[in-house]
Structure 1
Amino acid sequence: MKKSLLMAGLAAATSAAVAEPIHFASLDPIVVTPTRTAQTVDASLASVTVIERAEIDRLQPRSFADLLRSRAGIDIAQNGAFGQQTSVFLRGTNSNSVVLLVDGVRVSSATTGAPAWEFLPVDQIDRVEIVRGPRSSLYGADAIGGIIQVFTRQGDGPARLRGHVGGGSFNTREGSLGIAGSSQDTRYNFSVSRYQSDGIDVLTGVGDDRADGITSNNLSARIDHQVDERLGLFASLLYSQGEADFDRDVFEGFVARREPLLRDWNDFTLASLSVGANIAVSEHWDAQISLAQSRDERETFVDEEFDSRINTRRDIFTWSNALAVNSVWDAVVGIDYQRDTVNATTSYDETSRYNWGGFAQLQGALGAHNLIGSLRYDDNEAYGSKTTGQVAWGYDLSESWQTRVSYGTAFRAPTFNDLFFPDDPTFGPQSNPDLKPEASRNLEFGVRYSQQDLAMDLVIFQTDIEDLIIFDGIPQNVDKARIRGLEFELIAELDDWRLGSTLTLLDHENRANGNELPRRPNASARLDVDRIWNGWTYGVSATAQGRSYDDVVNNNRISGFGLLDLRASYALTSNWMLRAKVANVLDNGFITVLDFGGDPLNQPGRAYYLSLHYQQ
């Protein structure tokens, strides 16, 4: 078959990262997220950014937010750093309008609808695929802005041991140990890591004056076993657990606190587990069956005493089939079942709901024309049924140039907080069980150029969202939003040099009042330049973000900012590598979020980091 399912295609799409002298990645990589099949970026007819392990090693990000910052179509808002709440806005949509997948498993909080981006361990990640634009027609609810899929490390070849130790500013300490390889018909990866930092004081003069840090213990495992030529089995696990401090803003008469103020923190757990089988039913039919579970759990301690607990769990069953219809057309059809449950000290009116979904996709090439169409039907216990679809047409102008146009619909599901949060004795109703899902329409046009040493992608798009959910006394479907944008990406390689640049321009507004959507800048840009020379790799990254507003009424303005990072790596031997980074070289003070009282949530200034890496 020309294509395979997500997990089957993963073997071709990813490979174990090797800590040899840092190398550059492919400019036209294989991706699996846009169409649930393995194919090149050009063939996917989608706006896709791929971040390989080689690039992660080269950039030395301190968090997943650092890795994503100012990528095409992406804006980041953080309540500080070092484990503080992080929001990812994709194409100007809400942070809970982006789906996070970990090895194909949907991971987010059922109560807020948003993923805990701040707890994703970067050292356990092999690859990231960012798909911009609606994908509800394949993945269901919440994929209005797009999909971000994280793949954990895999093994291949002889067993290789790897590990690292490092540290730096803010009393940061980190380390990892892993082994990956293959033996006959089995591939495996097991790795553990720990990250600890004292952090910074997130709120100056508010709450306690201690630094707010994080301790994170992480584990990932992956096993793939080929039983015979028709049957393959797989299991995947990502687990992160730890503590993250925070400063709690205090309003007089609203929150009772003892004096002196003691430590506040969250105990967190973020986990994803999947098991399944890939079955070659026939020469023209591949099937995959998987069972998965994800968890987002948090216990909050205030003044060093237990305050609250919110644990959410998602159980998932998926049956997907890839079919070669004939020499021109390929199809993907499948069903999935998802059940969300909440276990919390808050007495939600409902604590579980299920969703059944069925999807189908047809893809083919007719000469220079490439066509993709997909359709999905969802039936949810809480808010009823929803049908979404997408069509895309691409035309190959030449071997290097391609144009594409697509139209798609998507929706965001009301969360447990929206639908089932209990009434407050003082403030009255806090939820609305009659809410409808938000609905969106997206139209985009793109031009892509791709050669061996140069890749460029330019996209313009418009997204219209109806029944936008806002909190107006209670959550209500009262608003409409329109988001127009331009995205540009460029990757170029010349001998030992690599350059990557992005630019995003957004025009977004709430159509009810003309206000801009909060915490989304109108412009952002990124530039990464690296050179490999004589065992060294030198690099610089510059990111810039325009101004935004912190509130829906546009009273609280957040200034734009620019950041500059320097980094270097040196291969001491074929097995040992030394890496160093200076983050925020110019020591710029910047913020992306204000607290409820209008106080800035601080970000770290200039910082230094050094690490030693070993790879067999």
Structure 2
Amino acid sequence: MTISYRRIAIALPVLLLAPAAHAQSAQSTEALEQATRAGDDVIVTAARAATPADTVAQAVTVLDTATIERRQTVVLADLLRQTPGIAVARTGGVGGVTSVFIRGAESDQTAALIDGVKINDPSAPGGGFNFGELLVGNIARVEVLRGASSVLWGSQAIGGVVNMITRQPTDRLSVNARAEGGAMGTGQAFANVSGRAGAIAASLGGGYYTTDGISSYARGSERDGFRHYGGNASVTATLASNVSVDLRGFYANGRTEFDGFPAPNYTFNDTREYSDAEQWVGYGGVNVALFDGALRNRLGYARTDIARTSYDRALTPRETYRSQGQNYRLDYQGVADLGAVARATFGAEREISRLYTRGYGSTDRGRARLFSVYGQLALTPLAGVTATGGVRHDDHDRFGGATVGAASLAWTPNDGATLLRGSWSQGFKAPTLFQLNGSTGNPNLRPERSEGWDAGVTQRALDGALEASATWFRRVSRDLINTRACSPAVDGPICDTRPFGIYDNVARTRAQGLEFALTLRPVEALTVVAAYTYLDGENRSPGASFGLPLLRRPRDSTTVNADYHWPFGLSTGVTLTAVGDSYDVGQVRLDGYVLADLRAALPLSDNIELYARLENAFDQRYLVAVDYGNPGRAAYGGVRLRY
């Protein structure tokens, strides 16, 4: 199946000549701005458009600007760890490879977005996104959508979606900046300026971070540092009352030092290895609203480019591995209001992915094309009832087609005070270019698939002073891709070049559990936010692994954030994180742990604020991955400016 670019080229001028209307296209800059201003009352990720939260049946956690600033978190993964349903495993200190598991799904089954643009790495073996190099920086909002969302977000959204929204353009000149320093030779500075001049609104930002770090090897003595700098930009031009153009960009450059497996024993130990990574994300889109805004259209083009190079100072030449992954995506999306009781979301995407890797004695290249069409219909037959159903079909030039569906129901009998939710969804993940073409590649792979459901309730009471939610979920995943020994009798001559095995659809998992969330404001000055997750994740693959727990995913995890604002302006807070036992490679048991972080902030004026925090206050020693260290007690302080 192929897309007709000629038809799009003909249709777009027709749309531009249509009667004027107010433009607010799905995932447009205006929609992102609206979500940023609205706090957790509006969600843009669940329906790929700004949607009232009490009509969304899937479980979504919103981390708004106020929450992000109050918690003072530097690394985005540490912020995600505090949300229900998420487990995080980092190999070493800041900058180390970081996996984010949503509801027990594999880390590369998480769709990662920057301002609505998918940024998963096509050069990574599993095609996932390394959250270890992503700092909070100028991110103003994070939406975590839990549960399969492949109907709207396509491949990889089996566990869920993490959408990170940077600071968006504002109508008046706005400046946000901060600088801080502290333990382990750590320093950072970030700034963002936004505003409007006539029909042009823009937001520009950048920042720098450096730390000497800790030893990645838990028993090592040599520190492994991390350095990062980057920038973000968002520009929108309003050409008419119903037409706007969006341009967005994101850039990140990082150097991560790490430990490896040196000769002659090839066991994990201190090494002088490091990796350079550079990431570009670019997006351009045209938004057109028709029929007094009843039909909102967006035609966009996005490109992501991720390049990584690894080095070992002990070797000659130093370079050990190089990879580059690129994605080119052209997409159309429409959102139509069909009277007062229905809204349709529909679209088509054309994606081309490229891979280049060099190292360990081989050079691999790969290319794949994917064409997708999707549609979703949301009905409101009665006041307070929203029923949603959708379907998606993807046509891949290597493995053929994949079709998934989803359905959900949200009901609030009392204008949002009580929200009853239920959803069923299928997910899929296309084989990566590495899995299809690499040294263990298999051109006959099928997509990974999942099917699951969840049911939950959210209750608000005491005039907003109490909000509690509970969700039960279950998901079964099949045809998961893993390596096995290559068999000439089964696989044929391909085994002549597959001495280390071959990828195949051989794995199966089951994950089920409970998520609880509580927000309590007993008095205006005190806010308590708590999250608890119970996860029963099990390997269901035939053979010796059947029945074993999923790796690096603890059964129990709890986070409590308590913040108090004192009458004289001082704000103080504490984060308590309790994580239960988990298992790593070889079914090595990792003991659970409890962490305590303290923080304080004091405004000196309306524009200047001093802040400080103490992380891991009790100097807890713990592991989330076998033999990889974690930072001990560390103190930081800084200043924040707002104008």
TM-score (ref. length: structure 1): 0.92
**Does the 8 Å CA contact 2:56/2:410 hold for their aligned counterparts?**
no
Aligned to 2:56: 44
Aligned to 1:498: 527
Aligned to 1:516: 549
Q: CA deviation at 1:11?
A: 2.5
Aligned to 1:20: none
What pairs with 1:414-429 in structure 2 (closer than 5 Å)?
414-422=431-439
1:383 aligns with 2:399: yes
Aligned to 2:638: 611
- Paired AA for residue 565 in structure 2: I
1:357 aligns with 2:372: yes
Q: CA deviation at 1:95?
A: 0.3
Q: CA deviation at 1:255?
A: 9.2
Aligned to 1:405: 422
1:138-169: CA deviation from partner (whole Å, max 9, x where unpaired): 11111110000001111213213332221000
Distance 1:407 1:341 in 2: 33
Distance 1:204 1:583 in 2: 19
Aligned to 1:593: 625
Distance 2:263 2:579 in 1: 31
Q: CA deviation at 1:82?
A: 1.5
Candidates 188, 212, 217, aligned match of 1:203: 217
Aligned to 1:130: 144
What pairs with 1:156-555 in structure 2 (closer than 5 Å)?
156-205=170-219, 209-250=221-262, 252=264, 263-283=272-292, 284-303=294-313, 305-346=318-359, 347=362, 350-367=365-382, 368-399=384-415, 400-422=417-439, 430-451=440-461, 452-473=464-485, 474-493=502-521, 494-511=523-540, 512=542, 513-533=546-566, 534-551=568-585, 554=587
Indicate how the Cα distance of structure 1 residues 237 and 204 shifts in structure 2: closer, same or farther if over 3 A, else same: same
Q: CA deviation at 1:187?
A: 1.9
Q: CA deviation at 1:185?
A: 2.7
Distance 1:215 1:378 in 2: 39
Equivalenced residues, count: 587
Q: CA deviation at 1:398?
A: 2.7
Indicate how the Cα distance of structure 1 residues 161 and 565 shifts in structure 2: closer, same or farther if over 3 A, else same: same
Q: Secondary structure at the match of 1:519?
A: coil
Indicate how the Cα distance of structure 1 residues 169 and 116 shifts in structure 2: closer, same or farther if over 3 A, else same: same
Aligned to 1:90: 102
Residues 183-192 or 286-295, more deviating: 183-192
Indicate how the Cα distance of structure 1 residues 2 and 74 shifts in structure 2: closer, same or farther if over 3 A, else same: farther
Distance 1:350 1:295 in 2: 15
What pairs with 1:87-166 in structure 2 (closer than 5 Å)?
87-110=99-122, 111-112=124-125, 113-166=127-180
1:42-67: CA deviation from partner (whole Å, max 9, x where unpaired): 21111000001111111111311111
Distance 2:187 2:33 in 1: 33
Residues 369-378 or 109-118, more deviating: 109-118
**Does the 8 Å CA contact 1:3/1:39 hold for their aligned counterparts?**
no
Distance 2:590 2:132 in 1: 21
Indicate how the Cα distance of structure 1 residues 129 and 204 shifts in structure 2: closer, same or farther if over 3 A, else same: closer
Distance 1:561 1:609 in 2: 22
Q: CA deviation at 1:235?
A: 1.1
Q: CA deviation at 1:262?
A: 6.4
Q: Secondary structure at the match of 2:640?
A: strand
Tell me, which stretches of 5 or more residues in structure 2 are unaligned?
Answer: 1-21, 486-501
- Paired AA for residue 334 in structure 2: N
Identity of aligned residues (%): 28
Distance 1:176 1:85 in 2: 23
1:252-281: CA deviation from partner (whole Å, max 9, x where unpaired): 365999xxx863111111232111111013
Q: Secondary structure at the match of 1:109?
A: coil
- Paired AA for residue 487 in structure 1: E
What pairs with 1:553-568 in structure 2 (closer than 5 Å)?
554=587, 556-568=588-600
Distance 1:254 1:475 in 2: 24
Distance 2:102 2:424 in 1: 17
Residues 568-577 or 177-186, more deviating: 177-186
**Does the 8 Å CA contact 1:29/1:50 hold for their aligned counterparts?**
no
Q: CA deviation at 1:205?
A: 5.0
**Does the 8 Å CA contact 1:558/1:592 hold for their aligned counterparts?**
yes
Residues 322-331 or 349-358, more deviating: 349-358
Distance 1:246 1:294 in 2: 25
**Does the 8 Å CA contact 2:427/2:450 hold for their aligned counterparts?**
yes
Residues 498-507 or 360-369, more deviating: 360-369
Indicate how the Cα distance of structure 1 residues 320 and 265 shifts in structure 2: closer, same or farther if over 3 A, else same: same
Q: CA deviation at 1:36?
A: 1.0
Q: Secondary structure at the match of 2:213?
A: strand
- Paired AA for residue 530 in structure 1: D
1:214-247: CA deviation from partner (whole Å, max 9, x where unpaired): 1101101111221110101111111110211001
Distance 2:606 2:265 in 1: 62
Q: CA deviation at 1:344?
A: 2.3
Q: CA deviation at 1:251?
A: 5.7
1:67 aligns with 2:79: yes
Q: CA deviation at 1:40?
A: 2.1
Indicate how the Cα distance of structure 1 residues 392 and 245 shifts in structure 2: closer, same or farther if over 3 A, else same: same
Q: CA deviation at 1:194?
A: 0.4
Distance 1:402 1:2 in 2: 30
Aligned to 1:19: none
1:426-474: CA deviation from partner (whole Å, max 9, x where unpaired): xxxx222222111111111111113533322210011011112222232
Aligned to 1:31: 43
Indicate how the Cα distance of structure 1 residues 291 and 14 shifts in structure 2: closer, same or farther if over 3 A, else same: same
- Paired AA for residue 42 in structure 2: I
Q: Secondary structure at the match of 1:11?
A: helix
- Paired AA for residue 613 in structure 1: R
Q: CA deviation at 1:366?
A: 1.7
Q: Secondary structure at the match of 2:380?
A: strand
Distance 2:271 2:385 in 1: 64
**Does the 8 Å CA contact 1:354/1:380 hold for their aligned counterparts?**
yes
Following TM superposition, where does structure 1 have runs of at least 4 consecutive aligned residues deviating by more than 6 angstroms? none
Distance 2:218 2:529 in 1: 36
Q: Secondary structure at the match of 1:462?
A: strand
Q: CA deviation at 1:613?
A: 1.5
